[in-house]
Amino acid sequence: MDYLGKLHAMMHDSDNIHTLIAGDFNCSPGSRFFDEFKSFCNDNNMVVLILVLLVIYIHMLAMMV
């Protein structure tokens, strides 16, 4: 995707140690764009935070039962 290429270029050209990219990317697990977005995040050592929070939340709920 064009936007992922632009994000990659901005991160690569930056001298920043940490990068936060926030927004609604309109991709959820199972959508046609999600696999590419997830690969982009993995390739750039990034975490899709909403998924991480969801897994923690589900684990906490399971422990409460």
More confident residue, 46 or 49: 46
HEC sequence for the chain: CHHHHHHHHHHHHCCCCCCCCCCCCCCCCCCCCHHHHHHHHHHCCCCCHHHHHHHHHHHHHHHHC
Taking alpha carbons only, the member of 42, 35, 31 closest to residue 8 is 42
Q: What distance in Å separates the CA atoms of residue 56 and residue 65, rounded to the nearest whole number?
A: 15
17-42, pLDDT tens digit by residue?
Answer: 888 787 777 787 788 888 898 899 89
